[in-house]
């Protein structure tokens, strides 16, 4: 996990909301609220770390930690990221989290010379 608490450059970078509903398993589903971490640059693209916990349903919750896919360009200078991963295993099952993060403005990586 990256610690950006004291890094002025990274705390001013964009993040994406990834709130949604998990797949249903054992006759229930959970909400997975949250916001990604700041961008992690990789060449001309970037990805984000996602960590969190689901809501408490049916006497339990699940945790998760994953990375988004690379940036997917959208109109008007925005982009999104696809995610697909499983939550932790608890009470005999896990859930799938799949979808896209909320759109955010695209930005060049720091010191990128395009």
5 part of a folded domain: no
42 part of a folded domain: yes
| Partner residues linked to 59 by β-bridges | none
Count structural domains, the chain. 1
DSSP sequence for 6-34: T-HHHHTS---B--EEPPPBTTB--EE--
13 part of a folded domain: no
CA-to-CA distance for 75 and 61, rounded, in angstroms?
Answer: 37
Rounding to the nearest 10 degrees, give the CA dihedral for residues 85, 91, 93, 95.
-40
pLDDT digits (tens, 9 = 90+) for 88-109: 999 999 999 999 999 999 876 6
Residue 11 has pLDDT above 60, yes or no: no
* Nearest partner of 98 among 23, 15, 16, 17, judged by Cα: 23
pLDDT digits (tens, 9 = 90+) for 29-61: 999 999 999 999 998 899 999 999 999 999 999
* 81: three-class secondary structure by DSSP: coil
97 part of a folded domain: yes
Range of the domain at 56: 18-105
The answer to whether residues 97 and 20 touch, using CB atoms and an 8 Å cutoff, is yes
92 part of a folded domain: yes
30 part of a folded domain: yes
């Amino acid at each position: 996990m990256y610690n950006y608490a004291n890094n002025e450059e990274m705390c001013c970078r964009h993040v994406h909301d990834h709130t949604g509903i998990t797949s249903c398993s054992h006759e229930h589903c959970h909400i997975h609220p949250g916001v990604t971490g700041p961008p992690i640059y990789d060449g001309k693209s970037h990805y984000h770390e996602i960590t969190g916990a689901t809501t408490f349903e049916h006497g339990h919750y699940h945790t998760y930690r994953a990375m988004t896919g690379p940036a997917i360009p959208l109109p008007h200078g925005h982009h999104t990221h696809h995610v697909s991963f499983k939550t932790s295993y608890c009470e005999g099952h896990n859930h799938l989290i799949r979808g896209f993060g909320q759109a955010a403005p695209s930005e060049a990586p720091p010191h990128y010379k395009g």
